[in-house]
């Protein structure tokens, strides 16, 4: 059976994604606004109803075979249990299903796989609103963010991975007629180059971005001929389950073994991640989460042939040295600290400021005054009944609230205290505003630790060069996914660029307005660099896809 017609159907979509990948210009295949004009007048209501129907119910996966019992224990950060039960699959069942599916999948051409995968994404995009509400009530994100992060943005990241994989595999000819002149004679060989997928991928999902962080590894694996098992986080199953059920429905309708994409569900009390990762049949692993478990996974694969792609913890930092408009800068930072209560791997934690103050067109603004102004900017945002609750969302687990309490009791000066924020319609929501503390450079044991959540530190430094050096050393030793720098002199910008590139971190200069350091744009921003301890992978550079297959040559006389 040929699937070339799907490649032809989606060729324009793929070509546009490949061109955007190469040029790094703005590109978005799926519109990000959750607008009825774009997705249908009843789309949001239909999605909410679909989510509500899932509650207190069993989640069917009719195209994934071999279930043995049920599992589930998700609880909305907005204050209620989901009570959704999912089919449970033993590790051996998942492996057997994957092995059988791999036989068919790896035989398809690169073009056929691309067409099939884009078709899967297009059909699943009809569920964006159900996915959005499910993300909101498993992660704590506000609805608009949940819709965008798990819908259009995540699906664009999947399409980006497909495009990167296509570019990598398509870089070399599949065959060649090789002729070597040798004086009066010549040697003729027919050569073929076969892409051999590594086999079965395991993608380990995280609790805060269950789709956005999972799709790149899953689709990078699939486009290169591998099959994938999505191990969902036990607190954030429903969003990825909706996607995978849709993918499997599409595959089955096309006559393709739906087990090229499976979901593995476990509970906090009976985890299965390690037992899956240790399976010899698992050849690539994608992981997003804590450094401690990431380090454990690294120890597990030592001495094996497994490839591990990680995004672990880091300490993101910023420097405010010279600004054109301090109010605009602090508005931008206040929003980035408040967005999803700082529960993003890209959110700034440590903010370095020269102790003599920040240079502005109106003169030097003192360290203390900058701190006071930032507090006022955060107050204006989070205490605004229209803007605050939706921007903050809710804490995805009580552990984050405990971390806020721990930070509050460090004995550091409190610039801005954290308080509970009412989420309208959800009186039991676990929602708290940012805590901002003053720390000193000497407080190394504190500021070199990742304080995941709405916690940040303002740190005085001797001057701009000292601040850049502190950032560089922190990134080299402890890792980071983002670095934000506010400077005006080109000489200083060049110095900062050289130092931070050397440290291996993505840099943002002078952000103001509606673009924040937290954000990472598909097709343009490489998420992570793989060049510091925060992780060894980057979404979705060529090494992110090329390590998932080997090229095997064949010569024939």
Which tens digit of pLDDT belongs to each residue from 95-144? 999 999 999 999 999 999 999 999 999 999 999 999 999 999 999 999 99
Look up residue 472 and give its two tokens.
Answer: 């560089």
> How does pLDDT run across 377-401, given as a tens digit for each residue?
999 999 999 999 999 999 999 999 9
Which DSSP symbol is given to 366?
A: P
Distance of alpha carbon 404 from its chain centroid, rounded? 24
- Round to whole Å and give the CA distance between 101 and 63: 12
- Round to whole Å and give the CA distance between 476 and 41: 50
Look up residue 18 and give its two tokens.
Answer: 């490949």
Look up residue 5 and give its two tokens.
Answer: 């017609």
**Four-point Cα dihedral 52, 150, 94, 544, nearest 10:** 180
Whether the CB-CB separation of 286 and 203 falls below 8 Å is answered with: yes
CB count in 10 Å sphere of residue 392: 27
Cα-flanking dihedrals φ and ψ of residue 210, to 5°?
-70, -20
Residue 1 has pLDDT above 80, yes or no: no
* Residue 199, SS3 per DSSP: coil
Cα-flanking dihedrals φ and ψ of residue 345, to 5°?
-65, -10
Share of the chain above pLDDT 70, in %: 100
Please tell me the predicted confidence (pLDDT) of residue 424. 93
Residue-range domains of the chain with CATH: 13-174+199-313+537-550 (3.40.605.10), 317-509 (3.40.309.10)
Please tell me the predicted confidence (pLDDT) of residue 498. 97
Sign of CA dihedral 328, 334, 339, 345: positive
Instruction: Taking residues 490-502, report their average pLDDT.
Output: 98
State the Rg of the chain over Cα: 25
- Round to whole Å and give the CA distance between 438 and 503: 25
Helices and strands, counts by H and E, the chain: 20, 22
Share of the chain above pLDDT 90, in %: 99
Residue 280 has pLDDT above 90, yes or no: yes
> How does pLDDT run across 226-244, given as a tens digit for each residue?
999 999 999 999 999 999 9
Please tell me the predicted confidence (pLDDT) of residue 387. 95
Give the H or E element holding residue 335. Answer: helix 326-338
Task: For residue 509, count CB atoms less than 10 angstroms from its CB and return exposed for 0-12, middle for 13-18, buried for 19 or more.
Answer: middle
Task: For residue 305, count CB atoms less than 10 angstroms from its CB and return exposed for 0-12, middle for 13-18, buried for 19 or more.
Answer: exposed
Please tell me the predicted confidence (pLDDT) of residue 133. 98
> How does pLDDT run across 367-378, given as a tens digit for each residue?
999 999 999 999
Name the pTM for this structure.
0.97
- Round to whole Å and give the CA distance between 322 and 231: 45
- Round to whole Å and give the CA distance between 481 and 528: 5
**Angle at the Cα of 312 (from 394 to 351), degrees rounded to 5?**
65
> How does pLDDT run across 57-88, given as a tens digit for each residue?
999 999 999 999 999 999 999 999 999 999 99
Cα-flanking dihedrals φ and ψ of residue 189, to 5°?
-135, 140
Residue 36 has pLDDT above 90, yes or no: no
Instruction: Taking residues 482-502, report their average pLDDT.
Output: 98
Give the H or E element holding residue 460. Answer: strand 455-461
Which DSSP symbol is given to 341?
A: G
- Round to whole Å and give the CA distance between 507 and 386: 32
What's the Cα-to-Cα distance from 83 to each of 57, 65, 554, rounded to whole Å? 7, 23, 54
Whether the CB-CB separation of 332 and 511 falls below 8 Å is answered with: yes
Please tell me the predicted confidence (pLDDT) of residue 2. 84
């Amino acid at each position: 059976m040929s699937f070339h017609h799907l490649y032809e159907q989606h060729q324009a979509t793929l070509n546009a994604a490949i061109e955007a990948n190469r040029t790094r210009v703005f590109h978005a295949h799926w519109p990000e606004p959750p607008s009825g004009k774009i997705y249908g007048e009843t789309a949001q209501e239909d999605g909410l109803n679909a989510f509500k129907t899932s509650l207190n119910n069993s989640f069917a996966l009719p195209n994934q075979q071999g279930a043995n019992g049920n599992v589930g224990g998700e609880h909305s950060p907005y204050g209620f249990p989901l009570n959704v039960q999912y089919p449970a699959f033993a590790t051996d069942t998942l492996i057997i299903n994957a092995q059988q599916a791999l036989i068919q999948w790896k035989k398809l051409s690169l073009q056929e796989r691309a067409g099939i995968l884009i078709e899967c994404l297009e059909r699943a995009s009809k569920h964006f609103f159900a996915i959005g509400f499910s993300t909101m009530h498993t992660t704590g994100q506000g609805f608009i963010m949940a819709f965008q992060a798990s819908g259009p943005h995540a699906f664009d990241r999947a399409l980006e991975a497909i495009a990167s994989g296509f570019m990598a595999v398509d870089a070399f000819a599949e065959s060649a007629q090789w002729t070597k002149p040798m004086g009066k004679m010549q040697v003729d060989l027919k050569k073929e180059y076969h892409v051999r997928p590594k086999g079965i991928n395991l993608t380990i999902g995280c609790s805060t971005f269950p789709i956005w962080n999972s799709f790149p590894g899953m689709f990078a694996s699939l486009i290169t001929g591998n099959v994938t098992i999505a191990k969902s986080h036990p607190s954030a199953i429903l969003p990825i389950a909706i996607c995978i059920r849709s993918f499997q429905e599409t595959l089955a309708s096309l006559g393709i073994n739906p087990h090229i994409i499976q979901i593995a569900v476990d509970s906090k009390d009976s985890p299965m991640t390690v037992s899956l990762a240790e399976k010899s049949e698992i050849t690539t692993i994608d992981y997003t989460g804590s450094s401690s478990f990431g380090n454990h996974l690294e120890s597990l694969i030592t001495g094996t042939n497994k490839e591990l792609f990680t995004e672990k913890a880091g300490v993101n930092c910023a420097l405010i040295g010279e600004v054109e408009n301090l109010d605009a800068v602090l508005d931008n930072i206040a929003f980035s600290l408040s967005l999803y209560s700082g529960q993003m791997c890209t959110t700034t934690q440590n903010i370095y400021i020269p102790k003599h103050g920040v240079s502005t067109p109106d003169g030097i603004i003192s360290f203390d005054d900058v701190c006071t102004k930032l507090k006022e900017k955060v107050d204006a945002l989070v205490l605004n009944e229209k803007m605050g609750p939706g921007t903050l969302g809710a804490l995805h687990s009580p552990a984050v609230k405990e971390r806020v309490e721990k930070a509050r009791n460090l004995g550091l000066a409190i610039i801005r205290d954290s308080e509970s924020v009412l989420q309208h319609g959800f009186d039991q929501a676990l929602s708290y505003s940012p805590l901002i503390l003053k720390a000193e450079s000497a407080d190394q044991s504190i500021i070199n630790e990742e304080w995941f959540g709405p916690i940040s530190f303002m740190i005085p430094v001797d001057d701009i060069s000292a601040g850049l050096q502190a950032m560089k050393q922190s990134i080299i030793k402890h890792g980071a996914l983002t670095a934000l720098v506010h400077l005006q002199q080109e000489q200083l910008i060049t110095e900062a660029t050289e130092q931070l590139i050397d440290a291996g971190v993505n840099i943002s200069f002078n952000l103001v307005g509606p673009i924040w350091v937290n954000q990472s744009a598909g097709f343009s921003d490489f998420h992570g660099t793989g060049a510091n301890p925060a992780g060894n992978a980057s979404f979705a550079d060529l090494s992110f896809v090329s390590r998932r297959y080997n090229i095997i040559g064949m010569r024939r006389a």
